[in-house]
């Protein structure tokens, strides 16, 4: 089955249709008083917006000075700390902070370390000394471990880790020294803009439809089959040997459907710029199950609009 659609009419085309009035529109002045930069008022900027005088304020990230004015260089929200003006960009790479939970993909195996793509400006580093090796937390790292690093992680592998520290060049160092962290399997990855992932109490979310979610703060989201509470890390059913396994468990058909549905919901929410939380995901999932007949877990544009509209009406 194949369907063709048209592109949405471009603003330029609409412009053509109404005629040429652009001289009047451009006259809008953007003026900013001291009060507008107070921390409570959220202010959006476009690149090139004048923010304030450079005499009274200092320019920070996302701004530059032009003719004694601080000018935004990115689209985002204005933030002020004392006399420092910064603009936090909406579309940006992930800015790591120590303690963040991230999902990453191994790009390179190097002596005693792995390089990890975590949607940041530089590849993150995972040292051999900051992973748990099979056979106990207290095990010493041997020379033979260095030689068989690809048995633990190889190129392309996905893992969940925590930001441990930063190197002097700003690259982040990760660690997986918890049984909750490690290699990922039984599911699929969804990538969204990092700004849409809020800091939550827990980034390991279980939805009642038998789907586990790991919301990486870097915008990488792992959607996978639910692991029973008795089989989770630290419980008696936990299989310590399977930590570095590449083998998926058997996944039944309803679970596969649920994983695909959750992944599609996340894509839709990201396209409409809705920040992700567990409650929003749950509401969206319930809504989509109610509408089952209409779309079978697929989201065409009109159904996506309806989903987002129903979320806005509930909140």
Partner 1 sequence: MISLSKAEKSYIQAGILAQPPHRSDGRALHDFRTVALETGVAPLANGSARLTIGRSLRGGGGTEVLAATKLEVEDVKAGGVDGGRVVCSVTCSPAAYPHLSSGALEDLQYDMTTIVNQTLSHPSLHPSNLGIVKGQKSWLLNLDLIVLSDAGNVYDALFMAARAALWDTKVPRTRSIEYKAAAANRSTGGMEIDDASGLDTRQQPSIADFELHDFWDEGEPLEGREAWPVSVTLNLISPMYYLDASAQEEAATPLRLLLAFSFLPSGACLQGTRVLGIGELDAKTVKQGIEDGEKYAREVYTALNSKLKDEDVRRNQKASHRFARR
CA–CA gap between residue 136 and residue 126 (Å, rounded): 19
CB distance 37 to 85 below 8 Å: yes
Nearest to 154 by CA among 244, 219, 222: 244
Nearby residues of 165 by Cβ (< 8 Å), 6 or more positions away = 98, 172, 173
Binding track over 79-118 against partner 1, x by CB under 8 A = --------------------------x-x-----------
| Subset of 6-35 contacting partner 1 (CB under 8 A) | 6-8
Residue 311 to residues 181, 254, 315: CA-CA distances in angstroms? 32, 25, 6
The verdict on 280 binding partner 1 (CB under 8 A) reads no
Total number of residues that touch partner 1 (CB under 8 A):
44
Measured from the CB atom, the residue of 62 and 104 that comes closer to partner 1 is: 104
Q: Which two tokens stand for residue 88?
A: 């936090």
CB of 233 to partner 1, least distance (A): 18
DSSP state, 95?
Answer: -
Q: Which of 246, 293, 313, 315 binds partner 1 (CB under 8 A)?
A: 246
Partners of 125 in the beta sheet?
115, 173
79's enclosing H/E stretch is strand 76-81
Per CB under 8 A, 158 contacts partner 1: yes
With binding defined as CB under 8 A, does residue 290 bind partner 1? no
Nearer to partner 1, 49 or 157 (CB): 157
The interface with partner 1 within residues 167-206 (CB under 8 A) comprises 183-189
- In angstroms, rounded to a whole number, what is the distance separating the alpha carbons of residues 270 and 231? 32
Q: Binding to partner 1 by residue 311, rule CB under 8 A? A: no
Q: Name 188's Cβ contacts closer than 8 Å, sequence gap at least 6.
A: 222, 223, 224, 259, 263
What's the rounded Cα separation, in Å, for the pair 48 and 205?
A: 40
User: Can you tell me which of 263, 281, 307, 311 binds partner 1, judged by CB under 8 A?
Assistant: 263
Which of 57, 299 has the CB closer to partner 1? 299
Find the binding residues for partner 1 in span 206-245 (CB under 8 A): none
Does 63 sit near partner 1 (CB under 8 A)? no
Interface residue list for partner 1 (CB under 8 A): 1-8, 105, 107, 155-158, 183-189, 246-248, 251, 253, 256-257, 259-261, 263-264, 267-268, 270-272, 296-298, 300-301, 304
């Amino acid at each position: 089955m194949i369907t063709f659609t048209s592109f949405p009419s471009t603003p330029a085309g609409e412009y053509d249709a109404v005629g040429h009035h652009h001289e009047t529109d451009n006259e809008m002045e953007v003026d900013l008083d001291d009060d507008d930069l107070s921390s409570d008022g959220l202010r959006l900027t476009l690149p090139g917006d004048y923010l304030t005088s450079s005499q009274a304020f200092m320019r920070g990230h996302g701004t530059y000075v032009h003719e004694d004015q601080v000018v935004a260089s990115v689209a985002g929200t204005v933030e002020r700390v004392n006399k420092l003006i910064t603009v936090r960009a909406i579309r940006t790479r992930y800015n790591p902070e120590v303690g963040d939970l991230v999902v990453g993909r191994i790009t390179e195996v190097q002596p005693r370390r792995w390089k990890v793509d975590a949607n940041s400006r530089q590849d993150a580093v995972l040292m051999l000394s900051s992973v748990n090796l099979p056979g106990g937390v207290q095990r010493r790292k041997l020379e033979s471990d260095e030689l068989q690093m690809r048995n633990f992680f190889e190129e392309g592998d996905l893992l969940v880790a925590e930001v441990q520290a930063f190197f002097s060049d700003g690259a982040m160092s990760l660690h997986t020294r918890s049984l909750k962290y490690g290699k990922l399997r039984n599911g699929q990855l969804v990538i969204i803009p990092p700004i849409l992932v809020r800091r939550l109490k827990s980034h390991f979310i279980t939805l009642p439809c038998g789907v586990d979610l790991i919301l990486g703060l870097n915008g990488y989201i792992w959607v996978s089959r639910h692991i029973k509470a008795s089989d989770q890390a630290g419980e008696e059913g936990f299989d310590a040997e399977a930590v570095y396994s590449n083998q998926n468990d058997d996944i039944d058909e309803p679970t596969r459907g649920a994983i695909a549905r959750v992944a599609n919901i996340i894509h839709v929410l990201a396209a409409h710029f809705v920040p992700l939380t567990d409650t929003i995901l749950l509401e969206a999932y319930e809504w989509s199950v109610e509408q089952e007949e209409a779309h079978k877990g697929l989201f065409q544009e009109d159904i996506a609009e309806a989903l987002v509209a129903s979320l806005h009406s509930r909140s």
